[in-house]
Amino acid sequence: MQQCTLTIWRGADARSGHWQSFEVPFEPGQSVLDGLRWIRVNKDPSLAIRFSCINANACKECMIELDGKTVYACTARMQPGELKLHPLSNKKLVRDLVTEIAPPAERFGAR
């Protein structure tokens, strides 16, 4: 098993959040989403992530910034070393890696 360090931006306020690192075991080919799910099960169930598919069906739920580039966590691959994960910088932050992705008119309760 190889190791990857996922350094994740945490918090509900863009100005007062912090970085937290997790050592994640992985096998070649595993996705960043696999690593995030491993963290939730094995290290920190409070980590806020969003996804609805785990088969790279491009649902857009797991979109994050990885080392400054916008990616789908389900298609980005883990690799040895450190990967920095950040919520989408152009969307309203909910918490941790979760941002508001639905247009205002499509949100539940929108009028």
Structural contact between residues 24 and 38, judged by C-beta atoms closer than 8 angstroms? yes
The pLDDT tens digits of the residues spanning 45-76 come to 999 998 887 555 557 789 999 999 999 998 99
Structural contact between residues 34 and 26, judged by C-beta atoms closer than 8 angstroms? yes
Domain range spanning residue 24? 2-106
**Confidence at residue 15, expressed as pLDDT on a 0 to 100 scale:** 86
Residue 111 placed within a domain: no
Above 60 in pLDDT, residue 111?
no
Q: Which residues pair with 73 in a beta bridge?
A: none
Residue 53 placed within a domain: yes
> 71 in helix, strand or coil?
strand
Residue 21 placed within a domain: yes
**Confidence at residue 27, expressed as pLDDT on a 0 to 100 scale:** 96
Q: Is the pTM of this model over 0.85?
A: yes
Question: Number of structural domains, the chain?
Answer: 1
**Confidence at residue 54, expressed as pLDDT on a 0 to 100 scale:** 57
Residue 50 placed within a domain: yes
Above 60 in pLDDT, residue 110?
no
| CA-based end-to-end distance of the chain | 50
- What is the CATH number for 62? 3.10.20.30
Both tokens assigned to 28: 């070649």
Q: Round to whole Å and give the CA distance between 100 and 103.
A: 8
